[in-house]
Each structure stands twice: as C-alpha cells, then as structure tokens.
Amino acid sequence: MSDTQTLTLTEIEDLAFRALVAAGTSEENARPLAVATAATEADGVASHGLAYIPIYCEHVQCGKVDGKAVPILTQPRAGVIAANAATGFAHPAIDIGFEALIPRARELGVAALAIRNSYNCGVLGYHTARLARAGLLGIGFTNAPASIAPSGGSKPVVGTNPFSIAAPGTDGEPAVLIDQSASTIAKSEVMKHAREGRPIPVDWALDAEGNPTTDPNVGLKGSMAPSGGYKGVGVALMVEMMAAAMTGATLGIDASPFSGAVGGPPKTGQFFLAIDPAATSGGDFAARMTDLVAAIHDQEGAHLPGDGRAAKRLQARAHAVGVNVATLDRIAAILET
C-alpha cells in the first residue's frame, strides 16, 4: 500500500480550508492560509504544507493563535505600513499589509511593512515571490522562537530566522528567489523526522551540551546547528533585529514554541521591504538580471536559488501532488470531530 495519495492543488487548498474552519478559524483567515498551503505543496516544501495544518488547527483550539483575529493596519510614516496581527495567523496580516505596501512602493520607490503580534508565516519565499510578481524586489524577514545558540554557547537565543529576497523576472515570475534559514535545515524538517521516527543527519542539530546528534528528539531539546557556524548566527541576529526589534514583536528568547500546545501566542514578527527597480536601477534592472541569470544557467549543471521550486511548481500544476497518507488521516480526524 502506498504511503502517499495524489491530490490536485485545488483539492489541497479545499482540504486545508475546511480543516482550519472546522478547528475554529474564520473563513476570511482560513482562505489565505489554505492558498499558501497549496502553493507550498506545489513547490515541493511538504514540511510546511499540509503537514502543518493539524498543528495550525491544534493551535487555534488551544489558544496559541486566534483563528478569528482581525489584523489592524496603520501607516505611521509615508513609506511605512504597520500591521498588528492581533495574535492571529500571519497570512491575513501579510495580505492586508501587501494591499497597502505594493502601491506605496510603486509610488515612493521603496516601502516597508512591519508586522507584530504574529505567528509562523510558513514559507517566507512564498510571500516575497508575491512582491516579485507585482514587479517589485521583495525582501522579507521573519523571527521564530529561540532554537540557535550563540557562537561559543549552548543555550538558544535566536530562532532559525529565515530571510528571503525575490527579484522580478520578465515572465511575471521571480527571476531569482532566495529563501534560506539561519540553520543548516529548517526546524520543521527535524520535527518531521521526529514524528516519523527517523534519524537526522549529524549536521542538523545539537544536543543540550552543544554536541552533534542524529536523534531528532534530542536535537529538539537542544539547539539547531547554525548554517556556516558563526555566519549563520550572524544571519539569525540580523533577522531578529529586522523582524522583532524593528517591528515591536516578541524576541525569540521570549516567544512560545511554534510546536505543541504549551504557552500562549508567540507574538513573533515579519518585516518586508518592497523596492521598485525602476526607481533605483536607471531602467537597466531587467537587462542586468537577464545577464546575471544567463551567466549561471549557461553553465552546465548550474542552477539558481528558486529553480527547483519553480520546476516542481510547473509539474504540480500538470500532474498534481503526492501527499503523505498519515497527514491526510490526521486532517480527516479534524474534519470528523
């Protein structure tokens, strides 16, 4: 018996939407999260796709996230949009924030969106790619509960804290999409291995004493291994400054976990910069990006950040997506309650 079942992207979105609503999420909040879930599955990032829906539902039910929250938007400066997610999902706050951010960036050349009192925003590159599709250079930061220890230490002080940058392409899709965390691997991948009872590679996580481990459960009680050693710690600190300090969100050292039912809302943050290339490049942006991309693609075997996701996206649209049956069973149980 196969451990996967094939679903279309429409079916994935509908399943995620119905499960979120069944758990107590408003339809207005469930829809953008369901759309993002389908897009994430299409890109081949299964750890952040349907596998996260039971976690989201649990967090709505235990009060870690307010499924019926209504984000509050303000504009403290001409080029600054601020969104208070009101301890709800990040996706609705990002949606209404982008509605204001995109025209501001086109008008002013550059604009910022600061989001606080938020939650896990899923795949950060999904959001920056939307800015690129609007013709803007999108830069994003999001912080997370502490899971990376500082250089020379063993106690986590910053999260896996990804950053992303997406450059607009001539075909309406991002020409380049960089989306990487400060850790060797996203923490959700370690959590996925723990759920499935599988060991992790030795360079993914550290135990409580700072030693490498292949046991995902030990790693989850210790710390994530920073990518590139002290350089990864530096990236995590940069993101913490942008997504938490700059937005008024909760620092990772004070945020409740994105996993389990312990603790209240994490109240983490996101920060986005949207830049109109026409305002800064003298009109040469598209040509320069074309040359840059070609210099990489012209090399046999070379690829750009985002190429893999783009290829999987096209395949998913044509042939649907294989989804883990155990995940579908967990979602079915939510719908049956």
Which residues are marked as active site? 47-48, 189
Q: What are phi and psi of 90, to 5 degrees?
A: -70, -35
For the chain, the 3-state helix, strand and coil shares in percent, each to the nearest 5, are 45, 20, 35
Copy the structure tokens of residue 1.
């018996």
Contacts of 212 (CB under 8 A, 6+ apart): 202, 203, 205, 206, 225
Copy the structure tokens of residue 114.
């600061």
Burial 253-268 (b: 16+ CB within 10 A, else e): eebbbbbeeeeebbbb
Q: Which residue intervals of 82-123 are DSSP H helices?
A: 90-108
What are the start-end ranges of the E strands in 128-173?
Answer: 137-142, 163-168
Copy the structure tokens of residue 105.
């960036």
> Is the CB of residue 97 less than 8 Å from the CB of residue 83?
yes
What are the start-end ranges of the E strands in the chain?
Answer: 4-7, 72-77, 80-84, 110-118, 137-142, 163-168, 174-180, 205-206, 212-213, 223-224, 268-275, 321-324
> Is the CB of residue 113 less than 8 Å from the CB of residue 83?
yes
Copy the structure tokens of residue 76.
């403290």
**What DSSP line would sit under 104-115, residue for residue?**
HHHHHSEEEEEE
Contacts of 333 (CB under 8 A, 6+ apart): none
Copy the structure tokens of residue 157.
């002080």
Q: Which residue has the tokens 């996701």?
A: 309
